[in-house]
Amino acid sequence: MVQAAPLQPSPPSDPRLSQEVWGIRFPNPVGLAAGYDKNAEVPLAWSALGFGFAELGTLTAHAQPGNPKPRIFRLEEDRACVNRLGFNNDGAAAAARRLGRLLTGRRCPIPLGINIGKSRTTPLEDAVDDYLESSALLLPFADYLVVNVSSPNTPELRKLQEVDRLAKLLEALITQAAQLAQQTQARPKPIVVKIAPDLSQAEIQEIARLALDVGVAGLIATNTTTERPGLRSPVNEAGGLSGRPLAERATAVLRSLFQTVEGKLPLIGVGGIFSAADAYERMCAGASLVQVYTGLIYEGPFLPRRIAQGLSRILDRQGLSTIRDAVGSKV
């Protein structure tokens, strides 16, 4: 595991890869997906691997152990994983205390997102208050906040993607973010929603339109899938599938979101990204930023740096002056 250190080395510097999203400067578009640093233990370390941003969590209002082990499985023939972790974490309050210790007096060289989900023991009808409790504790440490309503490993969580429920949740979180910002005379932190790949086209479009209507800052496409598309590895384990087999569907969802919002909302692409070519394809499909998770498992800790360097070479070949020129260019 990456160990905490007092030094915070900066990621690779190519000004063409730097961009401003939500008023935040991202030194490159390659991010760490939620799920690695679940408890916000090493937020200052990720830039040393070359990441342009990192997403911490998923964190819940109540500490919880997650599902019984074993709960993550490699599908090596498919360059994939199945996980049913179930939001195992120390809880939002513990993470907030840790972030207070780690970040006070230190400047993190990359933006930090914080991903929050519903506590397993919280009934669906109380989900809004559960998310608000986490958000109030963690927003002060986040550059952006991710609302995770799409993990397949928490019972009933995906029901929060239903438009009526989602609207109520997002309106409450956006209102809270505005109130907290007013107290500190700062700009409200961006609220971003992470969606599932298993939605219908109509559901994807409904969520995208809702995001525009309620003032969501962006969308992440996608979480893991409960489908098992064309796997070669023998697998009989329940959970969400990530990695190469997810790439095609995740890209299709991303493209649909970009078309529906007409480029008005920044999107983050995640799912099956293993190379600079994969990242560039996802950006051409509408992503302003990308994230890796399973790719890091298979390709190792130098993957984000290789992707960033590879994107620079792609810009050279394509004759582009900035990575922003690629975003949505093939939609």
Which residues are marked as active site?
Answer: 151
Nearest to 149 by CA among 133, 176, 130, 177: 130
Nearest to 270 by CA among 285, 261, 262: 285
d(CA 108, CA 26): 12
The verdict on whether omega for the bond into residue 229 sits within 30 degrees of 0, i.e. cis, is no
Phi/psi zone of residue 182: left (φ > 0), alpha (ψ -120 to 50 degrees), beta?
alpha
AA identity, residue 106:
R
DSSP 19-86: EEETTEEESSSEEEPTTSSTT-S-TTTGGGGT-SEEEEEEE-SS-B--SPSP-EEEEGGGTEEEE---
The verdict on whether omega for the bond into residue 60 sits within 30 degrees of 0, i.e. cis, is no
Nearest to 270 by CA among 35, 17, 27: 35
C-beta of residue 158 within 8 angstroms of C-beta of residue 124: no
Nearest to 61 by CA among 90, 34, 36: 90
Q: Which residues contact 249 (CB under 8 A, 6 or more apart)?
A: 197, 222, 225, 227, 229, 271
Element at 250 (helix H, strand E): helix 244-261
Residue 283, token pair as written in the block: 């950006």
Phi, psi of 292 (to 5 degrees): -125, 150
**Cα dihedral 193→194→200→201 (10° resolution):** 60
